[in-house]
Structure 1
């Protein structure tokens, strides 16, 4: 397929607490996107101190429970592990991870509803893995044309950051990404195999600019297409460097 390219690379160093776009990254076989969901904020009902391995998303503070979190933006420095968080309703916070975890949790508390278990601690897996929504070491691949198609159905532009994806492709037909399951993509010097669709939650209904719920993304998916899936999960099978703007080739 000609004209297919990598339009955006996005990551979320702290699960549900900020998104950012990056220009390039080195992928490792069998691992998710580097510094994507390396940390998460547990709540008081989580039942652990620091998790030994993967834990389900219901153990953490996340946008499903409070859409305002969707408006947090992040700037993360890989070398120093220093993160700056911003939100329309909060002063900016700059913190060193994980040392300044308590300050990050305190910054987050005013955005979290009192009716839910309170934010407790910044946590990371003891085995060094990511705290993504699924236990497999996936990264997510999404399509700009599918996002545009859904936005047209809703009558509004949809920010790509509603979906908390990793790699955004430009040049697919709407929903063609679902047809790539079982296929392998070449991006830069890396190779990725597409394995399954991603089922979505109501966090995607919140606007990442304002944090307010303003689009029934799930209803539009269900009514228009008979499902609530958006994007696909992929596994890195060959390490390599990828850069925004790279051509993408379907190799098998």
Structure 2
């Protein structure tokens, strides 16, 4: 059977602060060569971070792979005021401005119960429109609902899509077909996304996105059942425009 080349947008997510919550969107306007707007705009440094302006590798920041408790955070962003509200089942809500030094101090005190004995949060830095993506280039992450269903079936347990921290979720494609798209593009309305490499997965995906507790070894399932540790693919915006839930997605 030939690979399915048409699908649709099932979900859109942004993560205003790297590894500190996610927010569902109904639509988003993308710009050529940039990340999803406000995605990973900020990142939290720790007591072992090096001082460096702009983008840096993920280990320079507080991340869920090392601090699983962060997986239980959700976020809401007011773009007009650059204000973030973080929510946690045990900690409640915190509304603050990541660019305000007084507010950063409040955030550091609020988030401390989630950090355990590992690296401790020290401050917040911004990558601006570049976004503090895991990739060393401005990227979006594309995820397939069919691939997720295949992993959930292999786990034999309910599996939350939010574990994967994807930006654009796609319906209607065969499981793992996205790994055949390298060197091709995905068209969604006026938007064209150039498809890059698969995304190698880490321990962050083992943590439950509600409790922050590691309860499923997703990396081992990927390795043992599918012969790799990848989920999703990186993409770059080759042509900008607006995409929304339900829009048709076509591999070209």
Give the TM-score range, shorter chain. Answer: over 0.9
After TM superposition, the runs of 4+ consecutive aligned structure 1 residues lying more than 6 A away are none
The residue number in structure 2 matching 1:151 is 152
Alignment check: 8 A CA contact 1:105 1:122 kept: no
What TM-score do you get using the length of structure 1 for normalisation?
0.94
What TM-score do you get using the length of structure 2 for normalisation?
0.94
- d(CA) in 2 for partners of 1:81, 1:38: 10
Alignment check: 8 A CA contact 1:38 1:131 kept: yes
Match of 1:110 among 109, 113, 116: 113
Alignment check: 8 A CA contact 1:206 1:215 kept: yes
The residue number in structure 1 matching 2:42 is 39
Q: Describe the SS at the equivalent of 2:87.
A: strand
Alignment check: 8 A CA contact 2:94 2:110 kept: yes
- d(CA) in 1 for partners of 2:231, 2:250: 21
Q: Structure 1 regions of 5+ residues with no counterpart?
A: none
Deviations 1:23-81 (A, max 9, x none): 11110110111100000100011021xx3221111111110012111110001111121
Aligned length: 247
Match of 1:10 among 13, 29, 50: 13
The residue number in structure 1 matching 2:167 is 166
The residue number in structure 1 matching 2:131 is 130
Alignment check: 8 A CA contact 1:7 1:169 kept: yes
- d(CA) in 2 for partners of 1:98, 1:156: 40
RMSD: 1.3
Q: Structure 2 regions of 5+ residues with no counterpart?
A: none
